């Protein structure tokens, strides 16, 4: 009943809360969608990013509304911060919405702010392009360069997503990147104690390459110790 009085941030905060808590109540979601539709041209850019992310988490795929939200993001894109750019890209990719004008605008603006991207932002941006099969070579080159500079900050998940994304798009990562990634990935997983599917994503790319990476042997040995050996011994 009160939602008609909600301002831009109120709407995005409610959507974010529902998504974070996984509240998939149809009446609540329908009310949020309806209010977003009514006020889409008034929503601030950062609120649009948060709402789009929330819709993706809640599997709300209203193409007409998200198209209008994308147009509004383009018109107000300078209001987006690095997280907002990455989250908007992730949301549209998650919902499999190939909004080319939006991704072109975000790609151009992202390169202006790329040095401030966290490693998770970099991974999410690369994943979004890979998910939709969009090859933005200039942006992806910038993503790779920044990931290389911030390799020590990468988590195992960040690295696996980056490697997977470039592989899906048939773009070869520089040898220096792969060598450092294999080394850092091994060390990171030792610290995390997590041997999930991250290993397989990176191992598949490394094994399919005809090149012999400097840190490839150490990675493969650890891979066999942590994953393959238990299977072979069972």
Predicted TM-score (pTM) of the model is: 0.88
Consecutive sets of 10 residues in the chain, 234 residues long: mean pLDDT of each?
A: 81 94 93 94 93 97 97 96 97 97 98 97 98 97 97 88 93 88 77 62 66 66 61 50
Residue 210 confidence (pLDDT): 46
Question: For every residue of 47-109, which 3-state class applies, written as one string?
Answer: HHHHHHHHHHHCCCCCHHHHHHHHHHHHHCHHHCCHHHHHHHHHHHHHCCCCCHHHHHHHHHH
Q: Please tell me the distance from the alpha carbon of residue 56 to that of residue 96, in angstroms, as a whole number.
A: 10
Distance CA 50, CA 16 (A): 7
What pLDDT sits at residue 186?
76
- What is the structure's pLDDT at 99? 97
pLDDT confidence of residue 182: 83
Question: How far apart are the C-alpha atoms of 187 and 174, rounded to whole Å?
Answer: 20
pLDDT at 96: 97
pLDDT, residue 228, reads 59
């Amino acid at each position: 009943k009160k939602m008609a009085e909600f301002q831009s941030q109120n709407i995005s905060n409610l959507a974010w809360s529902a998504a974070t808590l996984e509240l998939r109540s149809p009446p609540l979601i329908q009310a949020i969608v309806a209010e977003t539709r009514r006020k889409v041209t008034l929503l601030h850019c950062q609120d649009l990013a948060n709402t789009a992310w929330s819709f993706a988490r809640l599997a709300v795929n209203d193409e007409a509304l998200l198209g209008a939200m994308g147009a509004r993001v383009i018109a107000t894109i300078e209001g987006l911060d690095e997280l907002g750019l990455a989250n908007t890209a992730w949301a549209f990719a998650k919902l499999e919405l190939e909004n080319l004008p939006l991704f072109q605008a975000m790609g151009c603006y992202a390169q202006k702010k790329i040095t401030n991207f966290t490693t998770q932002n970099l991974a999410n941006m690369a994943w979004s392009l890979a998910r939709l099969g969009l090859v933005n070579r200039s942006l992806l080159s910038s993503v790779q360069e920044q990931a290389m500079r911030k390799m020590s900050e990468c988590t195992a998940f960040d690295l696996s997503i980056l490697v997977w994304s470039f592989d899906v798009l048939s773009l070869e990562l520089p040898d220096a990147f792969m060598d450092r990634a294999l080394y850092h990935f091994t060390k990171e997983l030792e610290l995390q104690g997590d041997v999930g599917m991250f290993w397989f994503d990176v191992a598949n790319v490394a094994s399919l390459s005809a090149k012999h990476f400097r840190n490839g042997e150490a990675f493969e040995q650890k891979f066999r110790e942590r994953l393959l050996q238990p299977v072979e011994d069972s």
